[in-house]
Every structure is written in C-alpha cells, then in structure tokens.
C-alpha cells in the first residue's frame, strides 16, 4: 500500500524562526556573561515592531535592543524596501525577573526541573544522521535556499522562505511526490526566471535525482511572494515545533525550545531524549525508537521514562529497558552536565536545526560500544 509522509522546513528569515533566533540571541548574550542566568524569553514580531517578553534573572547586564537589532540585520532585514528593517524597527520590552516561587524549586546544589511537561526524542535508521528522510530533505531545501540568497547565487531573493516535501513509499520504492518552495523575492524579479533558478540551483543541487520520479514541483504557488517576513505574517517564538523536531513523524509534547535556558526541561530533556533514542538505534537494538519523558516542576527526577520502537525492535523490549536504566540518567543536573548545556551556543542550534547536526552534543553516539557489549553479555548470559 502507498504511504505518504509530508514535512516542512523554514528559513531563519521566516517570521516565526526569526522570533526564535532573536530569543536565543538574547539567551546567548546572558549566558556568555552569566552561566547561571535564568532566561525565559518570548519574542513577537509584527509590521515594523519587535516585542520582547518574559522573565530574566541574571547578574549580567545586556543591551537587549542592540542584540535584537544585530540579529535582525544579520538575517537580512536591513532596508526599508522590506518594510521590516533592523535599523529602524520599534523594540518594545516587557521583562520581569523569574518568579521566586519557581526559583526556590529549581535552584540548589542540584538543579531541578524548571517546568512540568512531556518531551519526546526520536531516531530512525533510515538516514545516516538517524533523522526521518522526509525531514532531512525539507531542511536541505531551506538550507540551500538560504545559501543561494546569502551568496547572491540567485539575485533578488529576500530572507523569508519555506519548503515542504511529500515523500511516497510504495512497496520498496521511495520517491518524492511533491516539492513546495516558497521564497520571498524583489518586486521586479522575473517569476519565470525565479522558477528556473530555484529548480536548478536549489532543488536539483540538494535533492538526489533518484527521488525525483514524476515529482510535482510547486514554486511560489500563488505566483508572487514580495510581501513577506513580519509584514506578511506576524512572528512568534515556539510556533515551529514540528520544524524544530522531527517534521511530524514523531510525537511532540507541545513545549518549544528557543529563548529557554537549560533548566527548562522543554528544551534540555527533549535534547537528552534524542540522545537516548539515537544511541538505542545506532546500537542496532531497533530500527526506530521514540523516548518519552515527563517532569514535575521543582523535582530533579522525571515522573515518567518510557519508549516505543514501533515493532521494529531487534531485541526484546525488556532488554532495551535495561539498557536505558543502566546507561542513561534523566535527572536534570545530569542532562545539563552530560550535554554541556551551560556552554552551548544556542543561536547556532536554532540556525542549523536542533537535531541531526553531528557537532551537537546530543547527537553523539558515544555509548554504542558499551551498549553493544552489555547486550551481548546479557544474551550470552555472561551477566
């Protein structure tokens, strides 16, 4: 039976992603001066205005307006013709300190969960980086779209953009049913030339030809995309949760990442759950694995740790549970230490994708060898 899977990605000139990037730029600015800063920063964009909201407690002094403007300008919103300009936009700040009620439950000798919630991590062996293939393809298109814009390989592109890939799996065949590329452009950009350039310099540059089997390609389906960014659509942090995770292939607990420091388990535990799932799959224990974990605010240990291999496990699930219990510690302080979250550059993560980038600490497969040995010893009844 034919199965269809669709995944979306956006450039960091998209208003929601730009909001994420601004929030993480503020977070990085504080953590660079104060590793113990508590940041829960939300950003909203509309017309030529930026709203910075939330709670920040820190010994550091940060020029938030300077950080916001630099981020916007670096993305490419640097002229009035775009109707959103980092030089002239209005920045409105409404920030307070972290609630003392929350702080007393989180801070201490060992950091405890900064919020309640459910987080998911996922891995699959269908790609070398253990990410869903369809999501990798969607990300590859937006990465290339940004690359050709920043390097002026396609003239007349503007920062806003998004892609969508629909993958067809039919028996043993995998091919792309539909590709959608929506890219903001200058007023005088020829639509026919734009379509030709996107096909040649974006799609064919990154999508293997074996996937392009009678593929429907839709480029700016309305025929025009001049008005974009925060003028075409308001932006808000945390609105691209599927883009930031696994493209809708795995479950999602609803919590977003950007603008949150490492005590917020919405972020840190989701990263750690990916680390666990990836090591399980990379060890050959299952072809797919989803790890789910839940916390209560002010409590160090999770109230739930569970997993699902979707009937792809290659060993008994009881053995996989033993592996998780032996090799992984979901206490918040251990997550922070294991993944070195106090020293992470969060804007890099936001720009490069939260999962599937080898250099990120939760993408390491350093436990594969000990896991394989442990499993072998159990099966051969050495332990």
pLDDT in tens, 267-291: 999 999 999 999 999 999 999 999 9
Rg (CA), the chain: 22
Q: What CA–CA distance (Å, rounded) separates 125 from 120? A: 17
DSSP state string for 110-167: S---SS-EEEEEEEETTSTTSS-HHHHHHHHHHHHHHHHHHTTSSTTEEEEEEEEEEE
Q: Cβ(201)–Cβ(148) under 8 Å?
A: yes
Eight-state DSSP code of residue 33: T
Eight-state DSSP code of residue 81: G
Q: What is the pLDDT of residues 238-272, one digit of tens each?
A: 999 999 999 999 999 999 999 999 999 999 999 99
Strand order in the sheet with 235-236: 90-96, 49-57, 38-46, 235-236
Q: What is the 3-state secondary structure (H, E, C) of 88-124?
A: CCEEEEEEECCCHHHHHHHCCCCCCCCCCEEEEEEEE
Q: What CA–CA distance (Å, rounded) separates 277 from 124? A: 9
The CA angle 236-240-245, to the nearest 5 degrees, is 145
Q: What is the pLDDT of residues 160-217, one digit of tens each?
A: 999 999 999 888 889 999 999 999 999 999 999 999 999 999 999 999 999 998 899 9
DSSP state string for 252-264: --S---TTB-TT-
Specify the CATH number for 3-8+134-229; select among 1.10.760.10, 3.40.190.10, 3.30.2270.10, 3.30.300.10.
Answer: 3.30.300.10
- DSSP H helices, the chain, are 15-31, 64-75, 100-106, 133-150, 191-198, 204-206, 229-232, 241-244, 265-282, 317-327, 332-338, 346-352, 368-379
Q: What CA–CA distance (Å, rounded) separates 236 from 79? A: 22
pLDDT of residue 208: 94
Element (H, E) at 279: helix 265-282
- Does domain 117-126+265-379 fall under CATH 3.40.50.720? My reply is no
User: How confident is residue 382, by pLDDT bands cut at 50, 70 and 90?
Assistant: low
Cα 364 to chain centroid distance, Å, stands at 17
Residue linked to tokens 């994420």: 20
Q: What is the pLDDT of residues 31-89, one digit of tens each?
A: 999 999 999 999 999 989 999 999 999 999 999 999 999 999 999 999 999 999 999 99
pLDDT of residue 114: 83
Query: Which tokens go with 361?
Result: 């600490």
Element (H, E) at 275: helix 265-282
pLDDT of residue 319: 97
Q: What is the pLDDT of residues 113-155, one digit of tens each?
A: 888 999 999 999 999 999 999 999 999 999 999 999 999 999 9
Q: What CA–CA distance (Å, rounded) separates 25 from 34? A: 14
Mean pLDDT of 332-338: 97
Q: What CA–CA distance (Å, rounded) separates 83 from 238? A: 24
Cα 365 to chain centroid distance, Å, stands at 19
Q: What CA–CA distance (Å, rounded) separates 58 from 98? A: 9
Q: Cβ(164)–Cβ(179) under 8 Å?
A: yes
Letter string b/e over residues 332-360, b meaning 16 or more CB atoms within 10 A of that residue's CB: bebbbebbebeebebbebbbebbbbbeeb
In sequence order, the β-bridge partners of residue 117 are 295
**Closest among 242, 244, 248 to 167, alpha carbons compared:** 248
Would you list the domain boundaries of the chain? 3-8+134-229, 117-126+265-379
Which positions are annotated as active-site residues?
Answer: 14, 16-17, 42, 55, 162, 225, 233-234, 239-240, 260, 264, 266
């Amino acid at each position: 039976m034919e199965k269809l899977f669709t995944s979306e990605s956006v450039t960091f000139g998209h208003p929601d992603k730009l909001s994420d990037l601004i929030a993480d730029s503020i977070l990085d600015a504080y953590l660079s001066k104060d590793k113990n800063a508590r940041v829960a920063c939300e950003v909203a964009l509309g017309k030529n205005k930026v709203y910075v909201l939330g709670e920040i407690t820190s010994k550091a002094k940060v020029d938030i307006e300077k950080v916001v403007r630099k981020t916007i300008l670096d993305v490419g919103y640097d002229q009035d013709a775009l109707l959103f300009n980092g030089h002239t936009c209005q920045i409105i700040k409404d920030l307070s300190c972290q609630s003392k009620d929350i702080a007393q439950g989180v801070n201490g000798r060992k950091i405890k969960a900064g919020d309640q919630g459910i987080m998911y991590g996922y891995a699959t062996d269908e790609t070398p980086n253990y990410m869903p293939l369809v999501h990798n393809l969607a990300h590859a298109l937006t990465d290339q779209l940004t690359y050709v814009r920043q390097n002026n390989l396609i003239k007349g592109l503007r920062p806003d953009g998004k892609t969508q890939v629909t993958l067809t799996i039919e028996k043993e065949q995998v091919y792309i049913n539909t590709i959608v590329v929506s890219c903001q452009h200058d007023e005088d950009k020829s639509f026919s030339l734009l379509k030709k350039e996107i096909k040649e310099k974006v799609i064919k540059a990154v999508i293997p030809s074996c996937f392009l089997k009678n593929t429907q390609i839709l480029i700016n389906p309305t025929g025009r995309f001049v008005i974009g960014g925060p003028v075409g659509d308001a932006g808000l942090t945390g609105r691209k949760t599927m883009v930031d995770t696994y493209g809708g292939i795995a479950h999602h607990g609803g919590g977003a990442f950007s603008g949150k420091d490492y005590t917020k388990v919405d972020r840190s535990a989701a990263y750690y759950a990916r680390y666990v799932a990836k090591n399980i799959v990379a060890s050959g224990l299952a072809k797919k694995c989803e790890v789910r974990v839940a916390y209560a605010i002010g409590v160090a240990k999770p109230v739930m740790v569970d997993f699902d291999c979707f009937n792809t496990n290659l060993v008994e699930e009881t053995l996989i549970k033993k592996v998780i219990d032996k090799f992984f510690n979901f206490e918040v302080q251990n997550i922070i230490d294991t993944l070195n979250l106090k020293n992470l550059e969060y804007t890099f993560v936001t720009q490069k994708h939260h999962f599937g980038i080898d250099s990120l600490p939760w993408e390491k497969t350093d436990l594969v060898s000990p896991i394989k040995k442990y499993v072998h010893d159990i099966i051969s009844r050495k332990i």
